Amino acid sequence: MVINLVRSQGQWLWPLLSGILIVVLGNLFLSWQLKSRFLKNFKPQTLDIYLTEEQIKAQMNVRNVEIFSDRVHFFEGKNKVLILKKEMLQDVTQWESFVKMAQNLPLKKTKK
C-alpha cells in the first residue's frame, strides 16, 4: 500500500481506501472466526442434582460470587466461572435456599 501511495503521484485515494477495506474485512473475518470457534466448542451443561456447598468446593476454589435475580456466578479466576441459572433448579424454594448458601459461601483470598 505504501509503495502504491508513492507511485500514484497524487492519486492516493483508491490505494488508501483499498488498504482500509482490506484491514476492516480482515478484522471482521477474524472476529467471526473466533466467535464461531467458541460457539462450536462451547457445550452448556444442565444439572439434574441440587448443588451443595461441598460439591461447589470440590469443583473449584471460589474466589468471588455474584448473585443476580435469575443466576449466580461463582468465580475461580479471570477465565473460570461457574454459572448457575434459576431455571436449572426445580422450584423457587430451591432457588432461595441456593442463593442463601451462595451468600454464605466462604471465599478464598486471592494472593497479590
User: What confidence tens digit (pLDDT) does each residue in 61-93 have?
Assistant: 888 888 998 888 888 877 788 888 887 777 767
Cα→Cα distances 49→30, 69, 92, 98, Å: 39, 21, 15, 12
Nearest-angstrom CA–CA distance, 75 and 77 = 6
**Phi/psi at 42 (nearest 5 deg)?**
-75, 130
User: What does the alpha-carbon distance between residue 15 and residue 5 come to, in Å, rounded to a whole number?
Assistant: 7
Count the residues in the chain. Answer: 112
The order of strands in the sheet holding 64-67 is 64-67, 71-75, 81-85
At residue 100 the predicted structure's pLDDT band, cuts being 50, 70 and 90, is confident
Taking 60 as the threshold, does the pLDDT of residue 19 lie above it? yes
Look at residue 94 in the predicted model and tell me its pLDDT.
79
Would the pLDDT of 56 be above 90? no
Q: What is the mean pLDDT of residues 1-18?
A: 71
Q: Say whether pLDDT at 14 is over 60.
A: yes
Report the percent of the chain where pLDDT is more than 70. 79
Could you tell me the three cell numbers for 20?
Answer: 482500509
Average model confidence (pLDDT) across the chain: 78
Question: Residue 96 pLDDT more than 80?
Answer: yes
Q: What confidence score (pLDDT) does residue 112 get?
A: 44
In this predicted structure, what is the pLDDT of residue 29?
93
